[in-house]
Structure 1
Amino acid sequence: MRTSVPVRRFQAAWCLALYALFLLLTGCASVKPDPLPSWNEGSTKQSIIGFVAKVTTPGSPDFVPVPERIATFDNDGTLWAEQPLYSQAFFILDRVKVLAPQHPEWRTQEPFASVLKGDVRGAMAGGEKSILALVGATSTGMSTAEFDALVLDWLATAKHPRFNQPYSSMVYQPMIELLTYLRANGFKTFIVSGGGMAFMRPWTEKVYGVPPEQVVGSSGKTQYEMRGSAPVIMRLAELNFIDDGPGKPVAINTHIGRRPIFAFGNSDGDLQMLQWTAAGTGARFMGIVHHTDAAREWAYDSNSSVGKLSASTLDIARTKGWTVVDMKRDWAVVFPFQAGQAASPR
C-alpha cells in the first residue's frame, strides 16, 4: 500500500525532529554556551567578547599570539568585595584580638588600643605608620609556611560582617566567569593588587584559578634561615614594595616581563596599570568596575576612602573609550550566593 505524499512529509519531519532531539540530548549539537552567563546582554558584555574574538582569531589583523595574551586584574573591588574594609584589614584586626592576651601593653598602646575597643577609624588615624605597626605585630616574625596556615585558617572560619558569608564567597561571579573565559582562549591571567602578595597566594588558585606564581602584590622583606636542620623563609617586619598606583606597572615589568593586552581595575590605584596597558601597540582592552549597586553590593566611587574612584579617572576612561562596567546594569548576579536574585530597579 502506497503512503500518500502528506503522510510521507509528516514522517520525514517527525524523523528530523527526533534526530534533532537526539543531538541535543547527546550533546552532539553545536550550540555554543554563553561564556559569560552572569553578564547582562549589552555593549559592555559585547565589548569583552568582541575583543577576545578579534585577538584570538587566526587571520584577524588584531590577532595576538598565545604567549602575548597577558591579562592583569586588580583584586580588591575588582575580583572580590572591598567594603566596608579590605579583607586583609579584617584579617589583621582579627589577629590583634587573638594575640591581645599575650600583649597586655596593647590595652593602652595605639593603634592596638583602638582596635581592641572596636574603633577602627581611631586605629587608622595614624595612617601608614599605624598600618605598618599592625602588620608587623600580627604577620611577621614567622615563617612563610606558618603565615600561609594562618591565612587559610582565617578564611575557613571568618565571615563578612554584612553578608555573613566566608570571604572566599565574596567574589564577583561575573569576574570569575571572565577569568575562566580568558584562560579558555589562551590568556594567562595575573592578579596585580595593592593587597599583600603573601596574603593572597595561599588561596587564589582555589578561588580564582590563578596560581601563586601569577599573583603580584605588595610585599614585606623576607630572609632565609635554618631552623635546626630545616630551611625556612622568615617574614621580617620591614616593607619591601607597595604595589599600588605607579607601582603596578613597575611590578608588572618586574614580575611578568610582558605588557598586558587586557587589564581590569576599579579605583584610582589602578589607573597607571590601565594606562600602561593602553600604551602598548595593537589591540588593547582596559576595564573598570564601577560600584553602582547599593542593594546587592555597595554604591561608591569618589565618596569612599576604600577603593576611591574619582571623577577624573572615570573621565579618562570614558574619553579614551575604555570599558566601564556599571555593576547594577551589567551584572545579572554579583556574588555566587546571590544567584537567582534580580538586580534592583534602576
Structure 2
Amino acid sequence: MELSALKRPGRNPLRPALAALCLAVLAFAGVNLGGCAAPPEAGATAAGVQSAQAPQAAEQALPSWRDGPARQALLKFVADTTRAGSPTFVAPEDRVAVFDNDGTLWSEQPLYFQFFFLLDQVRAAAPKHPEWKSNPAFKALMANDMQALMRNEKQLLALIAAANSGMTVEEYDRTIRAWLAQARHPKLQRPFTELVYQPQLELLSYLRANGFKTYIVSGGTIEFMRPWTQKVYGIPPEQVIGSSQAVKYAVRDGKPVLVRDPKLDFIDDGPGKPVGIYRHIGRRPILAVGNSDGDLQMLEYTTGGDGPRLAVLVHHDDAEREFAYDRQSKVGKLDKALDAARAKGWTVISMKQDWLQVYPAGKP
C-alpha cells in the first residue's frame, strides 16, 4: 500500500502506522506536555521483570492488582479454562491470548512512542539530505512549529518515509535498539521501555505459567517492536503482529539482504487486527486485551468464537500516576469500544481503581 493510500476516504484513523502517527502529532499541535502526570516511581525498569515463572496459586497471582472484579474475572477465566475435566477446559494449543501494545502494555501519551522515534530519524537523516532545507515540513519540524506541520502534512509523511527506508532490516533493527537505549519520555524523563505496566507484566507471566501463548497485536509496526519485546515482555519476535513496511530482496557487497521500501504493505489496526491474527496465528484467540477503538474488532473477533471467551479493556482514568483520557482523546481514543464493553459485559480495567501500581519500581 502506498503511503497516500492511508488517507483513502472512509478508512478509519490508523494507530501508529505512519499516517495515523502524523495525524496524532499534528492534532496535538504544540504537544502540550504540561498536562501530563508527574513522574512516577523513579528508577523503574521493565527488563527481566516479566520472565517466566512457576505456576502460582490464584491468591498469590497478580500482586499489583487490587482484588476487585477485574482481577477476579481474569483469575476465574484462567481457572475455568485450565481445570482438567471442566466443561470449560481449553486445550493448551488453543489457549491463545492477544494484547494490544500502545496504551495496553505500555503508555501512549502524549504521542505514540514510535512517532518520537520516527521524528528523531528525520532529524538524524537531515545531514544527508541538504535538499530538505527548503522543505516547509522540515523547516517546521526544526522550529517545532506544529501549526506549520499541520499545513504541510504530505511533505512530513514523505520525510518520514525517506528517513526510515533504504536501509537493510538489520540496520534498522540496530537503529531502533540504539534509540531505545538513549531516548527518554519528554515529560516523565524515563526510558520508554520503563513505561510498561507492571500489572500487565504480571498478567502475561501468569498466563504463560498456565499454558497460554501470548501475542502482541498492535497498530505499531513489527519492525519497531520486535527488537525489544522479548526482553521487556517475554514475547518473542515471532509472536509480534503489527503493521509492516514493505521490504525487498537485494544483494549488497555480495551479501543477500532485505531492504526497506518507503511504503506500508499491511495495516494492523481496527478491522485489520483480526486479519493479522488469522494470517499469523491461524487460531481465534480466547482472550483479548486492548484499550481503544482500534482494538474493537479484535475484541469482537475473540468473543465471537465458541467456548469460554474473555475481552478486556484498559481504561486510562488515572491522571495522577499516568494519564486520564478516553472519548475525546486524539491518541488512544476509547469511545465505541467502551460502549460495546458495557453492552456486551466485557471486563473493563480501571487503572485508578484496579492497579496498585502502574510502572515497575526499582532497578534490576
Give me the TM-score of the superposition, normalised by structure 1: 0.85
Say if 1:290 and 1:327, in contact at 8 Å, map to a contact too: yes
Mapped to 1, the partners of 2:340 and 2:147 lie a distance apart of 31
* Among 312, 330, 337, the residue aligned to 2:354: 330
The equivalent of 1:275 in structure 2 is 300
The equivalent of 1:13 in structure 2 is none
The equivalent of 1:167 in structure 2 is 192
The equivalent of 1:59 in structure 2 is 85
CA positional deviation for 1:31: 7.4
The equivalent of 1:92 in structure 2 is 118
Mapped to 2, the partners of 1:141 and 1:269 lie a distance apart of 30
The alignment partner of 2:60 has SS state of: coil
Greater CA drift, 329-338 or 317-326: 329-338
Aligned pair in 2 of structure 1 residues 300, 262: CA closer, same or farther (>3 Å)?
same
CA positional deviation for 1:108: 3.4
The alignment partner of 2:313 has SS state of: strand
Say if 2:241 and 2:276, in contact at 8 Å, map to a contact too: yes
The equivalent of 1:237 in structure 2 is 262
Mapped to 1, the partners of 2:65 and 2:147 lie a distance apart of 36
Say if 1:107 and 1:116, in contact at 8 Å, map to a contact too: no
Say if 2:198 and 2:357, in contact at 8 Å, map to a contact too: yes
Mapped to 2, the partners of 1:245 and 1:285 lie a distance apart of 18
Mapped to 2, the partners of 1:126 and 1:241 lie a distance apart of 25
Q: State which structure, 1 or 2, has the greater radius of gyration over its C-alpha atoms.
A: 1
Mapped to 2, the partners of 1:113 and 1:228 lie a distance apart of 36
Deviations 1:211-231 (A, max 9, x none): 000001001111111112211
The alignment partner of 1:45 has SS state of: helix
CA positional deviation for 1:119: 3.0
The alignment partner of 2:333 has SS state of: coil
The alignment partner of 2:316 has SS state of: strand
Which residue type is aligned with residue 311 of structure 2? M
Say if 2:121 and 2:160, in contact at 8 Å, map to a contact too: no
Deviations 1:50-71 (A, max 9, x none): 0000000101111000000001
Say if 1:124 and 1:131, in contact at 8 Å, map to a contact too: no
Which residue type is aligned with residue 150 of structure 1? T
Mapped to 1, the partners of 2:362 and 2:253 lie a distance apart of 50
The equivalent of 1:113 in structure 2 is 139
The CA RMSD over aligned residues, in Å, is 1.8
1:218 aligns with 2:239: no
Aligned pair in 2 of structure 1 residues 32, 247: CA closer, same or farther (>3 Å)?
closer
- How many residues in Structure 1 have an aligned counterpart in Structure 2? 308
Say if 2:286 and 2:308, in contact at 8 Å, map to a contact too: yes
- Detail structure 1 runs of 4+ shifted over 4 Å in the superposition: 30-33, 124-127
Aligned pair in 2 of structure 1 residues 301, 156: CA closer, same or farther (>3 Å)?
same
Mapped to 1, the partners of 2:83 and 2:191 lie a distance apart of 39
The equivalent of 2:276 in structure 1 is 251
